[in-house]
Amino acid sequence: MIQVENLSKKFFLAGNPFYALDNLSFIIKPGNFTCISGLSGSGKTTLLNILGGFLHPTNGNVIFEDMDIHRLSDKKASRFRGGNIGFVYQSFSLIPQLTVFENIRAPLLFEKHGLKNAEKKVKDILEIVGIPEKINEYPFNLSGGQMQRVAIARAVIKNPKILMADEPTGNLDSKTGLGIIKLFKSLNTKGMTILTVSHDQRFIDTADENLVLSLGKLKKKKTKKG
Ligand SMILES: Nc1ncnc2c1ncn2[C@@H]1O[C@H](COP(=O)(O)OP(=O)(O)OP(=O)(O)O)[C@@H](O)[C@H]1O
Ligand SMILES: [Mg+2]
């Protein structure tokens, strides 16, 4: 589904260049559950942002089903992302002035005929993430785990081919985190490809494939099946 070829990202630290990602190549197969782990500063967020099309690499390509996503214009890239990728930011990024319903519906506003059946779609997805009763609440009335569920619901409302998430259990207690991992697993069982950044051992154990980053290099790859 995604083919990463010789990917590098150079940043500057006090005027000196360094590689946050150093010549990575790997493949994400459709239907797989992949977890990227590694120490703080190893390049995980940088990699996810490049795979999601939010940040351009210095070198290398990201081929998403034959499409070289970093060669698209910004407008085309954003349309491509909207149709294919669901993205969960580490900090939830919910819009505080909007209710749960309005936050989850937001991606549909940018689609032709997006509002058709929007209410049913939001209700169905809230049922799946397990907080149907919160539909009319505002984010500040939710717990961290509930906000994370809303962020995930918003990311999957358009049924993307792949769900990308940056530390989706990072701010959650152990039990709430387990609920999120189970939710990802069930989305995966229904056919969604999952790519998550996490150092949560339970995510690492659940994943089919583990990519470990160390100082911007791919250190080891553990594959559970296939
Ligand atoms: N825009 C930027 N400009 C300069 N350096 C950056 C930029 N973004 C990230 N970096 C640096 O690149 C390296 C990798 O950062 P990244 O955020 O990808 O790490 P991470 O693995 O996600 O860390 P964490 O686990 O703490 O979230 C770090 O040294 C960071 O300081
Ligand atoms: Mg990070």
The answer to whether residues 50 and 6 touch, using CB atoms and an 8 Å cutoff, is: no
The answer to whether residues 30 and 193 touch, using CB atoms and an 8 Å cutoff, is: yes
Domain count, the chain: 1
Residue nearest to atom 27 of ligand 1 (CA): 40
Q: Is the pLDDT of residue 225 over 70?
A: no
For residue 158, report the distance from its CA to the centre of ligand 1, in Å.
29
Per-residue pLDDT tens for 28-75?
A: 999 999 999 999 999 999 999 999 999 999 999 999 998 999 999 988
Mean pLDDT of 181-206: 94
pLDDT of residue 58: 97
**Structure tokens given for 161:** 């081919």
Which residues share a beta bridge with 84?
Answer: none
Identity (one letter) of the amino acid at 157?
I
The packing angle between helices 144-156 and 118-129, to 10°, is 130
Tell whether ligand 1 has an atom less than 6 A from the beta carbon of residue 20.
yes
The answer to whether residues 127 and 143 touch, using CB atoms and an 8 Å cutoff, is: no
Q: Which CATH number belongs to the domain containing residue 180 in this structure?
A: 3.40.50.300
Tell whether ligand 1 has an atom less than 6 A from the beta carbon of residue 216.
no
Q: Is the pLDDT of residue 223 over 80?
A: no
From the CA of 197, give the closest atom in ligand 1.
22
Mean pLDDT of 82-104: 92
For residue 54, report the distance from its CA to the centre of ligand 1, in Å.
14
Q: Is the pLDDT of residue 99 over 60?
A: yes
Q: Is the pLDDT of residue 222 over 60?
A: yes
Tell whether ligand 1 has an atom less than 6 A from the beta carbon of residue 212.
no
Per-residue pLDDT tens for 118-134?
A: 999 999 999 888 899 99
Containing domain of residue 113, as a range? 2-223
Per-residue pLDDT tens for 1-37?
A: 999 999 999 999 899 999 999 999 999 999 999 999 9
